Every structure is written in structure tokens, then in C-alpha cells.
Amino acid sequence: MPDRILLTGGTGFFGRRIADSLRAQGHTVVTPGRPDFNLMDAASTLRTLEQVKPDTVVHSAAHYGGLGICVAEPIQIFQRNVVMGVNLLDAASKVGVKKFMTIGSACSYAGAVNGDMKESDAWSGPLHPSVEAYGFTKKVMEVGMRAYQRGCNMIGQMPIVTNLYGEHDVFGEYRSHVAAALIKKFADAVIEKKKQVVCWGTGAPVREFIYVGDAADGVARLLASGHAEPLNMGTGIGTTIKELSEIVARLTRFEGEIVWDTTKPDGVMRKVLDVSKMQEVLDWRPPTSLEAGLAKTVKWYMENKAEADARN
């Protein structure tokens, strides 16, 4: 049955695609924004939920970004995300919301997991220091949703999403993740006719990437299910940073040399989700290959470069 859904962050990179996927399923999706809807203010949050009267809340808004912002703003990342999440949980419980979904992150996994990361590894050890502030806010929300489920029967759901990429991403250096950062780096090199592009580390670390449209469809599928435990959401396919760089270079038509600055850190050597439970619960796998998704992203970026570069 179609729901009335309040979606936070509904105009952002991931949120706009979640809104599309939910509307395609027949749901009514409301995406309030500032200044009328301020998640940092408990009264504003409650007032908006009283006006919207949602059956379901999907919390996609977040203060986050790539490694640059995670290192530079740990206090803001921790404080804003916890306050926003707690205000929204409490307001949702007061207006009778039946289901509450928080978008989770692979950053919430322990920094040293042997093999691909399973849902059962979630509390297996400390988080990597570089993403600890952001990753732990997702753990706060996981515990918070369980508390509200026990206290007022509000069902909680959390897709643990791997690295996203796609159209409308943030490409500026400060907040971008690796795929968007590489697209900008190689596109700029082509425009400036550079002979070399320098990338950090050895290129050996393995990461996992999911196209934003696929991840949004996965969120909609999870919402329609009765699954109320955190669920990994990704492709389960590892790609080295070297392989990713070579694909992006080819798609942007960069014909120069890729130089690896091995004085820069590699970070965790492998970070890939085990998605066997996702495939079982949702009977689904993300359909877009990395090369096809990156091709869409590069095309959009080149057609909207000035606008994309201005977003930080």
C-alpha cells in the first residue's frame, strides 16, 4: 500500500534519487527543507512532522563528505548528525510514524575486518580513526531506532550503503569521495592539456562502488520489505583504485600518464561488503556495472561542469 513518506535530504545527491524510486512505487514523498524545516531544532522538526503527518520517515540528510571534511570537521560531523537524527526520531515517535529508515554507511564498520564485511561484523571492533566521527553517528542511530522500536513499536530500518557515485555528486575537492574526485581530476587534466595526473598511494587498495540510482532502488525495495535489521547494500565487487583510475581516464579521454605518489597513504587495503543477505532478503542485485555507471556520471559531469564544480 502506498505510504506518505517524509524524506530528509530529498534534494541532495542520494536523496533526489531515493525520492524518484519511492515515487515510482506509488508513494507520496514530501521533501521539506530549510528554513522552515531545521533538523538541528527540535521544535522545528516536530512542527514539520505534525504538518506533514507521514506514515514513514526516510532520513537521508547528513553532514558528511570525503576524507578531507572527515579529518577537518570531526566535531561538526558528530554533533550535527547525532542532533539531527535524535530530533527526527523523537518527533517521528510523537506523531505516530510507523516506520523509520536511516541511511547507514560502510564507515560504521570496524577499521580492521578480515574478509568482506558482514552485518555480524558491525560491532566487532573500533572504527578507522579517519571516519570514526561520521561512522559512529550511524551506530548511534542504529541503537536509537532499536530503542524507539521497543518503546513505541516504530519499526527501524537501515541500509548500510557502500561508496556511492553518479550524477549530481559533489565533485569539489573538500567534500568529494574518490570516484567523483578522480572524474574531476582527469577531466581537468584533459581541459588543461596535462601530460600527467598524480594519484595518491599505490593504487592497490580495493574499494566497492554502487551507482546512486541502483542504491536508491535498493532503498525502496528494503522499505517495502519487513526486514528490520541493518542490511548491507552494495555490489559485493571489489575494484582497486588503480583500476578505477584507468576506467575514469579512458572515459574522460585522458591520454597521458598516471603517476602514483607512494609517499601518500593508501588507507585500509580492502573495504568490500558481503551482500549475500541483501540478495536473499531483497531478491535483487544492483544492475549497473561500474563502467556503465561511471560513463553516465562522466557524461553528466562534462555537460554540467561549471554547476558541479561550484557545489562544495
CATH of the domain at 180: 3.90.25.10
With CA atoms as reference, report the closest residue to 155 among 165, 145, 144.
145
Handedness of CA 236, 241, 242, 245 (dihedral sign): positive
Residue 128 falls inside a structural domain: yes
Q: What is each CA distance from 116 to 120, 215, 275, 276, 280, in whole angstroms?
A: 11, 19, 9, 11, 17
226-243 pLDDT, tens digit per residue, is 899 999 999 999 999 999
For residue 312, the model assigns a pLDDT of: 64
Does 245 lie in the same domain as 296? yes
Classify the C-alpha dihedral 35-39-41-44 as positive or negative.
positive
Q: Is residue 70 predicted with pLDDT exceeding 80?
A: no
Mark whether 104 and 8 lie in a shared domain: yes
pLDDT in tens, 108-160: 998 777 679 999 999 999 888 878 899 999 999 999 999 999 999 999 999 99
Which residues are catalytic, by number?
134
33 and 156 in a single domain? The answer is yes
Same domain, 113 and 248: no
Query: Which H or E element spans position 134?
Result: helix 132-152
Q: Are residues 159 and 189 in the same domain?
A: no
pTM: 0.94
DSSP H or E run through 277: helix 276-282
The helix/strand count (H/E) of the chain reads as 11, 14
Within this chain, do residues 189 and 133 fall inside the same structural domain, yes or no? no
**Same domain (yes/no): 135, 183:** no
- Mean pLDDT is lowest, of 95-99, 104-108, 250-254, for 104-108
* Residue 126 and residue 199 in one domain: no
Q: Is 17 exposed, middle or buried (0-12, 13-18, 19+ CB in 10 A)?
A: buried
Question: Looking at the structure, do residues 36 and 115 belong to the same domain, yes or no?
Answer: yes
For residue 203, the enclosing domain spans 170-207+238-271+288-310
Per the structure, the count of domains in the chain is 2
